Amino acid sequence: MGFGKHLKQLRKEKGLTLEEVSRRTGISTPHVSLLERDLRRPTEETARLLAKCFGVSAKKLWLEFRLRDVPRDIKQAIEMEAVKASGALGSQPQLVKGQAAGLRRIPVFDVAAGDWVDFDDGGYPVGFADHYIFLPVGSPHCFACKVTGDSMYQENTPSFAEGDVVVFSPSAQINEGDFVFARGEETGATFKQAFFDNSADTVRLCPLNRRYPEKKCHLAGIKMYKMVFHVKKF
């Protein structure tokens, strides 16, 4: 069943008209109608309002919409993860069909490289996302981020432009000057170059573009993942 048809089914189950949904959510009646016909893409906030109106999980409804564009084999793998989590299957890992020989399927997330922003996997099980790339990297837990913004871009030097994809490994050791994906409760998530002050147990997260400020963080308050691969956008 398509996402729009599912919305219409939820509305019918509640015995609501389009106008009643509009009054309860603040979403215009025409817009609700377009969503039900898959002629408009909902925002996360729209999905939250509709989920509250229909008495369903906002996280699940938003995930359902995002899964529309995910390849079939990935959907099957996500469904398998859900079954495993319920205890219906053992803990043996399930292989995703179609994986190229010698390459690993790496999930790609969108993360701003400028301001510190929230990073969310959209409710997917670990290892699943909206987009994927195949690369010859070894760690099974690598993930990738698509660069947005220009804080990591500097002309005439090795740098990272908007649209580039950078791959990070949770198992790689981080050294002075490495490029890292950093994530903290107070700071959100970002892609920067790391410089350490071991005496103070802090790290400076520095942009390549000096128009942006650096951030100084306590090591105990953040997690960092080393960049291991850089895919340039042409």
Residue pLDDT, tens place only, 153-174: 888 777 898 888 899 988 899 9
For 106, the token pair is: 């790496």
CB neighbour burial string for 70-100, b if at least 16 within 10 angstroms, e if fewer? beeebeebbebbeebeeeeeeeeeeebeeee
Q: Supply the Cα-derived Rg of the chain in whole angstroms.
A: 21
Length of the chain: 234
Q: What is the pLDDT of residues 90-100, one digit of tens each?
A: 333 333 444 44
pTM value is: 0.56
Do 3-68 and 104-231 agree at the fold level?
A: no
- pLDDT at residue 1 greater than cutoff 70: no
For 115, the token pair is: 């301001």
- pLDDT at residue 16 greater than cutoff 90: yes
* 79 band by pLDDT with thresholds 50, 70 and 90: low
- pLDDT at residue 151 greater than cutoff 80: yes
Domain ranges of the chain: 3-68, 70-97, 104-231
In CATH terms, 3-68 corresponds, of 1.10.260.40, 1.20.1090.10, 1.10.275.10, 1.20.810.10, to: 1.10.260.40
Residues 61/18, Cβ–Cβ less than 8 Å: no
Mean pLDDT of all residues in 39-48: 85
CATH 2.10.109.10 describes domain 104-231:
yes
* 116 band by pLDDT with thresholds 50, 70 and 90: very low
For 14, the token pair is: 């509640």
Give dist(CA 163, CA 234) in Å, integer: 9
Name the residue among 82, 84, 135, 79 with its Cα closest to residue 107: 135
Largest CA distance in the chain: 64
Nearby residues of 219 by Cβ (< 8 Å), 6 or more positions away: 196, 201, 202, 203
Mean pLDDT of all residues in 41-56: 89
Give dist(CA 105, CA 95) in Å, integer: 11
Residues 208/162, Cβ–Cβ less than 8 Å: no
- pLDDT at residue 9 greater than cutoff 70: yes
Residues 73/98, Cβ–Cβ less than 8 Å: yes
- Find the range with the poorest average confidence among 59-63, 148-152, 157-161, 190-194: 59-63
Phi, psi of 179 (to 5 degrees): -90, 135
* 27 band by pLDDT with thresholds 50, 70 and 90: very high
CB neighbour burial string for 141-161, b if at least 16 within 10 angstroms, e if fewer? ebbbbbbbbbbbbeeeeebbe
Q: Tell me, what's the pLDDT at 163?
A: 83
Mean pLDDT of all residues in 65-91: 53
